[in-house]
Amino acid sequence: MELTERDMFKHPLTEAELGALIGGRPVRDFFSFKSPSFRKLGLDREGLTDSQMLSMMSGEPRLIRRPLVAILSGTGVTGNHVIVGNAAAAFEQAFG
């Protein structure tokens, strides 16, 4: 297995890249509502659309739940192989 790291603060993910990572999963699963950056905005989390959250995450990487691990196939990133947040069971299953 080859590991490639990406510093999201030096090289932020674009909305398109985020969309590819998220795939068909809920955007809310990738959004860090507990982030101090989100709390500073004073926004109602229930009022945010997927499009707004994608835009916010691409502009402020601190709004992306971390760690974010994408398992790449030969054809690129798929939303089916992404681990987001501190999901110990998901890491154990993926990397056993």
The confidence score (pLDDT) of residue 78 equals 44
Q: Which of 6-20, 32-46, 60-74, 79-93 has the lowest mean pLDDT?
A: 79-93
Q: How many helices (H) and strands (E) does the chain have?
A: 4, 2
CATH superfamily ID and name for 15-95: Glutaredoxin (3.40.30.10)
CA distance 16 to 41: 23
Over residues 70-90, mean pLDDT = 60
Is the pLDDT assigned to residue 27 strictly greater than 80?
yes
State percent of the chain over pLDDT 70: 71
The domain segmentation of the chain, as residue ranges, is 15-95
Is the pLDDT assigned to residue 77 strictly greater than 90?
no
For the chain, strand residue ranges (E) read: 68-70, 82-84
CA distance 27 to 53: 7
CA distance 82 to 47: 26
Contact criterion met (CB below 8 Å) for 51 and 15: no
The confidence score (pLDDT) of residue 88 equals 59
